[in-house]
Structure 1
C-alpha cells in the first residue's frame, strides 16, 4: 500500500490542494461565534497580503499533514470497518485531532503574518472542537484523491 504522502503529493497534488483549500474556505465560512469571527478576520487579513494564502498554506503543509494522517489512513484501509475515511476519522477523533494539531502547532511559530499568528494563539484552545466538527469532510477530501 502506498503511503498517504506519496499519493496526495504526487501527480494529483494540484487537485488535492485545490479541493482541500476549497474545503477549508467553506469550513471557515461556516464558523460562528467569537472564534469564528476571529478566524474569519485572520483569513481576511491574510488575504490582503496574499489572495492565495490558503492554497499556498495547504500546498506547503500537505506533506507534513499527510505524514501525520498516514497511520490513520493505513488503519482505515487495513481494517475496513468504516464506510468512509471521514467516518474513520470521526470514530478516532481524539487521536486524529491530536495528530493534526501537532502539525499546526509546530508550524505556528513560522507564520509570517503577525495578525494570523496572533489569532492562532488566541483560538488554539478552541481548535479541537472546530477540527472535530470537520473531520468527516476532511476524510472525504482525502479519500477522493487517495482511494
Structure 2
C-alpha cells in the first residue's frame, strides 16, 4: 500500500479535487439512502443547506477533510497491520471510536462557525449523528482505500 499519510496522499495537489468530488458523492449517496422520519429530517436539512449556500457543502468538505483524514490515520495504520482486506469493513468493526473522532472534528468547527443557521441545523441533528456516521463508515473506508491504492 501507499507509504504516505492519508492527508499527504489524498489531499495532494494532484488528488485533492478528485477526492473532494468523490467524498461529496459518498455524502450525497449516504443522505439519499436515509429512510424514515429521521431520514426525512436529514434530507430536508441537507436540501436547505444546499439551497441557501450552493457551495457550502464542498467548502465544508475541503475544510474538514484534512482533520478527518488525520483522525482516521491511526485507523488506517492499524488496518494496514491487520489481516482485514477491506478498510470499510475495518472501520465498521471500529465504528464507535472512528465516529467519535470524526464528530469531534465537526463539533469543534461548528463551535467556531459564523454560519449560525447551519450550526443550528447541526445542533438539531447532532443527537443522531453518531449512528449515521457509523452507518457511513463502510463507504468512507472504501473511498479511502480505493484512492490510496490508485496509482
Answer whether TM exceeds 0.5 for this pair: yes
For 2:57 and 2:133, the matched residues in 1 are separated by 16
Aligned-pair CA distance for 1:142: 0.9
Q: Indicate the residue corresponding to 1:53 in structure 2.
A: 56
Match status 1:96 vs 2:101: no
> Superposition pairs for residues 2-13 of structure 1, below 5 Å?
2-10=4-12, 11-13=14-16
User: How far off its partner does 1:109 sit?
Assistant: 1.7
Does 11-20 or 52-61 show the bigger shift?
A: 52-61
**1:142 alignment partner in structure 2:** 144
Q: CA RMSD, aligned part only?
A: 1.4
Deviates more, 1:108-117 or 1:132-141: 108-117
**Structure 2: gaps (5+ residues):** none
Question: For residues 120-131 of structure 1, what are the structure 2 equivalents within 5 Å?
Answer: 120-131=122-133
**Matched residue of 1:31: which SS?**
coil
Residue-by-residue CA offset, 1:100-147 (whole Å, 9 max, x unaligned): 111111111234433321221111111111111111111011111112
1:57-89 deviation per Cα after TM superposition (whole angstroms, max 9, x unaligned): 11111111110101101111122x112110110
In structure 1, runs of 5+ residues without a counterpart are none
TM-score, normalising length from structure 2? Answer: 0.89
Please point out which of 102, 110, 113 is paired with 2:112.
Answer: 110
